[in-house]
Amino acid sequence: MKKNQIQGIINDFIDYRGYENPIHHFWLKEKLEINLISGKINYLEEDSFTEFYKHKRKWFMGRVKKLKGKLADFQEAKVIVFGAKEKIFIEYKDKTFEKERIYEDFGREIKKLKDAIKKLKPINISKNKI
């Protein structure tokens, strides 16, 4: 596996199933960290976030295998998620690669919109003014 393929893996990892990422709807209050090599997850509980990142890890492992890479060549490969940010960090053959993505907090924006609609005053339409 070539070093330049690692950046492609990182880009695809960030985009992989991004539309399904629970961060679109929930702000992650506690840090989630997953080791992509061992599969070890540091997080409070098993929930939709951990399930989602288990799927992403499985994709990562398959991609490395498809590119004929060796896990022994990776010094580190991990993902850290907190708030609305996802960051992947890979150290491969003594070179560091990383990328982060901040997801839109759609859930919070929808709540703001609903609150704004509630504050609107109704319009009185009288029959005489038509």
pLDDT tens series, the chain, 130 aa = 888 899 999 999 998 887 788 887 777 889 999 999 999 999 988 888 899 999 999 999 999 999 999 999 999 999 999 988 899 999 999 899 999 988 765 556 666 777 777 787 666 666 655 5
Question: Which of 39, 14, 42, 36 has its CA nearest to residue 92?
Answer: 36
Q: pTM of this prediction?
A: 0.76
Give the helix, strand, coil percentages of the chain, each rounded to 5: 45, 30, 30
pLDDT for the residue 13: 93
